[in-house]
């Protein structure tokens, strides 16, 4: 299970600390605390239930408790247990997910997507890819809490992003069990590099060394579209840039963007932006 965050805005740091429980001690039962509670155990083990699911959080592992759910201890500590805790929250949307959702590509008549949102995934529970590095970040956060300066607060937010990125490396490793993500990324990169050239499914299959049907499945799972749809959208974005920043004739822009046919370019541009290329240029040029 993963937690999917949509950014911006990025999750923000609130507070953190550490605690040591003795044998027989229990973590407090709580409900709807309003913040994510990241717990990282360095010694012993905590036995926590979050939203009805039980987790044994042993030394070297972590658990993220939801801000809107009930969590409790289903078993007291069996030995001395030390752990760090960190509270964070986000003003953006989030959800629990079992797998990645397709990346949403822009379809807008705007010059550029002024704020391009993206999703990132943090495993809810798992072993730390680098315990020492995570502990170092948490100790730095605690040190900064002693300073009331705005610079210290800024550094705390940066450190939280470092910690979340560190946790995400495990999720990246999980992708090796789902090779379609890597294949889709490779395919998208190839299309961005060769968008000015004629690209057919046959050429793409030869370049990627996979059947075109499998490439389409991978792209749909990751980006929500076929390879050629992805290519067309990328070409439209390049055309937008040229329409605004150059005085080139629209026919030349169609060619520079990879469209072999001027009428086809016009049809695609209208389909993806809702207006003609000339109107788009007039909208943003005096």
Sorting pLDDT into bands at 50, 70 and 90, what band is 25? very high
Confidence of residue 105 (pLDDT cuts 50, 70, 90): low
Using CA atoms, how far apart are residues 137 and 163, in angstroms rounded to an integer? 7
Q: What is the pLDDT of residue 4?
A: 86
Residues found in the chain: 286
Give residue-wise pLDDT tens across range 177-231.
467 888 988 999 999 999 999 999 999 999 999 999 999 999 988 888 899 999 9
User: How large is the average pLDDT for residues 270-274?
Assistant: 91
CA 136 to CA 128: how far, in whole Å? 13
Q: Is the pLDDT of residue 120 over 90?
A: no
Q: Residue 233: is its pLDDT beyond 80?
A: yes
Q: Provide the pLDDT for residue 169.
A: 66
pLDDT in tens, 235-248: 999 999 999 889 99
pLDDT of residue 128: 84
Burial-class residue 207 by CB neighbours within 10 Å (0-12, 13-18, 19+).
middle
pLDDT score recorded for residue 176: 45
What are the structural domains, with CATH classification, of the chain? 2-174 (2.60.120.280), 180-284 (1.10.10.60)
Residue with tokens 């900064």: 144
Residue 116 to residue 43: CA distance in whole angstroms: 41
Task: Check pLDDT > 80 for residue 119.
Answer: no
* Cβ atoms within 10 Å, residue 254: 24
Beta strands in 206-257 (DSSP E): none
Q: Which of 159, 102, 104 is nearest to 133 (CA)?
A: 159
């Amino acid at each position: 299970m993963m937690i999917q965050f949509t950014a911006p805005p990025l999750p923000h740091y609130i507070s953190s600390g550490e605690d040591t429980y003795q044998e027989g001690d229990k973590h407090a039962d709580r409900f709807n605390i309003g913040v994510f509670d990241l717990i990282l155990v360095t010694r012993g083990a905590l036995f926590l239930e979050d939203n009805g699911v039980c987790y044994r959080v042993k030394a070297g592992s972590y658990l993220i408790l939801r801000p809107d759910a009930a969590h409790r201890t289903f078993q007291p500590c069996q030995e001395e247990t030390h752990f760090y805790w960190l509270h964070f929250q986000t003003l953006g949307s989030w959800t629990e997910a079992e797998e990645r959702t397709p990346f949403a590509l822009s379809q807008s008549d705007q010059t550029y997507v002024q704020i391009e949102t993206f999703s990132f995934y943090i495993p809810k529970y798992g072993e730390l890819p680098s315990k020492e590095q995570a502990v170092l970040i948490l100790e730095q956060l605690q040190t900064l809490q002693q300073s009331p300066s705005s610079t210290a607060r800024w550094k705390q937010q940066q450190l939280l992003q470092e910690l979340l990125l560190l946790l995400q490396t495990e999720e990246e490793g999980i992708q090796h069990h789902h090779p379609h993500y890597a294949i889709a990324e490779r395919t998208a990169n190839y299309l961005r590099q060769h968008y000015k050239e004629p690209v057919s499914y046959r050429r793409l299959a030869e370049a990627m060394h996979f059947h075109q049907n499998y490439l389409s499945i991978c792209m749909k799972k990751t980006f929500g579209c076929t390879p050629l749809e992805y290519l067309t959208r990328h070409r439209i974005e390049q055309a937008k840039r040229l329409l605004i920043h150059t005085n080139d004739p629209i026919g030349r822009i169609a060619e520079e963007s990879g469209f072999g046919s001027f009428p086809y370019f016009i049809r695609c541009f209208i389909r993806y932006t809702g207006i003609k290329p000339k109107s788009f240029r007039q909208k943003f040029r005096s």
